[in-house]
Structures are given as structure tokens and as C-alpha cells.
Amino acid sequence: MKLVLASASPRRAEILRDAGLHFHMLSSAVDETPIPGESPHEMVLRLATAKAELVAARAIGPAIVIAADTVVEIEGRILGKPHSTDDARAMLERLSGRTHAVHTAITLIRLPDAERRSAVETTQVTFTHLAPEDITRYLASGEPFDKAGAYAIQGRAGRYIPRIEGCYFNVVGLPLARLCQLLEELGWNEE
């Protein structure tokens, strides 16, 4: 049974490759506009499910489609990918010296029978205090601009994160241990 990653994310692909999993990638662009009143947990689950369904409609079984969506939340506010340098700076200033939550939902759909599994993983991430020159230097690296919350824990921002509580891979964008648990529940085994 093949695995199909419903994503074009190089970070998610790297996590799977580094774990020794073989997979194919199919893009899964969906409208990621938040729905008013929707919690971060509800939002990531809705988006991961939409991505999985979109790719499952195009994939050929037997396969398991894997989709994920990640958001950063601080004080109930969702921080998506920054739209500008000023937006990224504001996000990093908000995260500076504080703890926030990273939520990643994963949805798996087994084909051809459409059996599903979903889960949401949450990790608490603590940033050190960021001086204005730290933020300027980080923005100049270009790293923040396609990342939820304007940072990449696995990159240069790692130097500003002294503590996490929960799954590291969740912060990168794909909670690996939870994913493997759901794959086993769907009867997948490495061959």
C-alpha cells in the first residue's frame, strides 16, 4: 500500500524521508481563510481534512493519503504565514519572550475504502526575548516568509527557542509519532 503526501511542503517531505517512509506527493491547495469563530484546533482539522479529500479524489488505491495543516496560536490569535516584512516583524515581536502553541492536524484516508483517521497534536514553544536587531537579522535571512508564525524551529529560529513541551516534529509541520500510530490503525505496514 503506497503513501501519498497531500502537500508540496519540503519540510513535511523531509520528515517522512528521514523516517525512512516511501511516498508520493500530490499538491493540495485549499482556501485557508479562517471561518469567524473557529478555534485553531477546528481550523487545522478542517483544512487537513479538506486537503486529504482533495487528493484522495485524485489518487489511485490501494493507498493512504496523508494531509496536514499547522497554525501558531498565541492568546487565542492565529498566526498564519506572514504577508509582508512588517507582518513577520509583528508576529516575531508578539512571540518574543513568551510561550505559544503550535497545532498540527493530520488526516489520513485509506483508499479505496475511504476509511479515515484524524488527530490534532499541540506543542508549547517558548521564545527567548528577541531584541529588535535579532528580529531584523532574522527577517533578512528570508526564512520567516513561508512559515506559520514567521519562524522555522529547525532553522535559524532554533537559537531563540530554549524550550518546547510536546512533539518537535509537530512544530516543523508533521507530528511523526502520531502519524505512525494512525498509519498502523489503518493497517499500513512497512514492506
3-class state of residue 168 by DSSP: helix
Burial class of residue 112, CB neighbours in 10 A (0-12, 13-18, 19+): exposed
Q: Taking the C-alpha atoms of 11, 16, 6 and 34 in order, what is their torsion angle to the nearest 10 degrees?
A: -50
The cell 517531505 sits on which residue? 13
Mark whether 69 is an active-site residue: yes
Q: What are the angstrom distances between the C-alpha of 16 and each of 30, 81, 93, 177, 191?
A: 22, 22, 32, 11, 15
- Cα–Cα dist 43/124, whole Å: 18
Q: Which of 184, 32, 63 is nearest to 119 (CA)?
A: 184
Distance CA 59, CA 145 (A): 30
Q: Which of 69, 86, 87, 113 is catalytic?
A: 69
Structure-block grid coordinates of residue 24: 508520493
Residues with a catalytic annotation lie at 69
